[in-house]
Amino acid sequence: MVGEFVLEVEKREGRGKGAARKLRAKGLVPGIYYDNKGENIPLFFKTSSFEKVYAKAHKTKIVALKVKVNGGEETRHALIWDIQRDPVKNNVLHVDFLGVDLTEEVYVEVPVEPVGKAKGVEKGGILNIYRETIPVVCLPASIPEKIEIDVTELDINDFIHVMDIKLPDGVKLDAVEDNFAVLGVEAPEVEESEEEEKGAES
């Protein structure tokens, strides 16, 4: 549901590392909203509020940004596009929001999730995921949280390619140059026998 995830934000006046540090010291996060129409709004918001929204919306659900302007409020619909985190503390340093038009299709990378246990895995094979996400195009309200891929029929040396994946209604694969493998079951590595090892040493 569009607008289910709401984040209250304010316009940010100060720029630079010093201003950003002051915001973070107060439990606030600097960010930026931009869209393909050229609008660019520096923002700030509460760290705790953002983390609560991101825990549910991730990068595939529309967030309604409530922007305080001149004593009033404007709404901007956006996707959480990029998050910069401290490599040690993991706290949020900066967030990019990509503004979307609810009537226009957008490009987005959607996570894949294997479902079931592959036949090849039961035989000792190893299920490998080669692509964590796949590129799709759809209306913002139709972006799936994830794309499930049934792997139960995969035997050893079987693979599922991106063009084999059934997508939800209203979602289509973005143009790709090659039909790359998304996941597959590979044979387990066979350890060398003692004789082979001895032969290699001699």
Q: Which residues on adjacent β-strands are paired with residue 160?
A: 183
Q: Where exactly are the structural domains of the chain?
A: 5-99, 106-186
Q: DSSP code of 88?
A: T
Superfamily of domain 106-186: Ribosomal protein L25, C-terminal domain (2.170.120.20)
- Rounded CA gap, 197 and 184, in Å? 30
Confidence label for 69 from pLDDT (cuts 50, 70 and 90):
confident
Quote the pLDDT of residue 191: 54
- Rounded CA gap, 97 and 131, in Å? 24
> Among candidates 66, 102, 99, which has minimal Cα distance to 80?
99
CA end-to-end span of the chain = 68
Taking only the tens place, the pLDDT of each residue in 127-176 is: 999 999 999 999 999 999 999 999 999 999 999 999 999 999 999 999 87
Identify whether the C-beta of residue 132 lies closer than 8 Å to the C-beta of residue 185. no
Identify whether the C-beta of residue 47 lies closer than 8 Å to the C-beta of residue 92. yes
5-99 CATH fold = Ribosomal Protein L25; Chain P (2.40.240)
